[in-house]
Amino acid sequence: MVTEGPQDNATERGFESILTREQVLSKLSTYCENPTILKELRDKDGIYLLEVRGTRKIEKDIAEYIYQRKGTFPNGSDSSVTSIMVVDDGGWAENIAEYDSVTRKWVIM
């Protein structure tokens, strides 16, 4: 696993860092080009789900990326980790990064 640099300007909620929309989109842009937002859900703390579609930088095909924040949310979903997943054309989801709120770094899976 590889760890990437600190994420500044995160809002603190207890021990959990809440990433801003800009921080999430910045991280997603490391995986895909020209991301188009398909779905964005927020609660009182900020974005908890962001789905985008874009061209994968390495494979050069179109894929969907999903950012999910750790927590329990108004839409009934919950997540034990803050993560980014890629979903291929066949609907197969793969976790590609998890956010460590203690170190404020993304851990590449």
- Residue 84: burial class (beta carbons within 10 Å; 0-12, 13-18, 19+): buried
pLDDT digits (tens, 9 = 90+) for 42-72: 999 999 999 999 999 999 999 999 999 999 9
CB 87 within 8 A of CB 65: yes
Averaged pLDDT, 1-11 = 45
What is this structure's pTM?
Answer: 0.82
- Average pLDDT value for residue range 24-49: 95
Distance CA 60, CA 84 (A): 19
Q: Is the pLDDT of residue 19 over 50?
A: yes
- Per domain, the residue ranges of the chain are 2-108
CA 87 to chain CA mean position, Å: 13
